[in-house]
Structure 1
């Protein structure tokens, strides 16, 4: 098995994918399931944002480096 090496671009790519998937859901049917899924995406994004910022980085500046 290959050794896993985290990089800033790997993390930014994962976060961007989560944000994009959440944005893709905006046009879907308004029901409890989709509202819960939308909320779940934001909880994950917020958790990652808090982790990045607790380490002394600005989340928005971090993401601007890549997108």
Structure 2
């Protein structure tokens, strides 16, 4: 099984990619590819956040103590 530090690193990379994806989407909100990409990152992070929460993990340790909808979909 993966250790917490590795998992934290992977999640931080996904968050960085999600932020980049949101920036690309904001440049052209009519671009369906970038819209879908931003939504996909949101869904991945939402799934990870839900699983960590269900397992009693401290979301702040993984950088997921944020409102994902507000951060990545607005």
**TM-score interval for Structure 1 and Structure 2 normalised by the shorter chain:** 0.7 to 0.9
Structure 1: gaps of 5 or more residues:
none
Q: State the TM-score, normalized to the length of structure 2.
A: 0.70
Considering only aligned residues, what root-mean-square deviation do their CA atoms show, in Å? 1.5
TM-score of the aligned structures, taking structure 1 as reference length: 0.76
Q: How many aligned residue pairs are there? A: 59
Higher-Rg structure is 1
Could you list the runs of 4 or more consecutive aligned residues of structure 1 that deviate by over 4 angstroms after TM superposition?
none
Q: Which runs of 5+ in 2 are unaligned?
A: 64-74
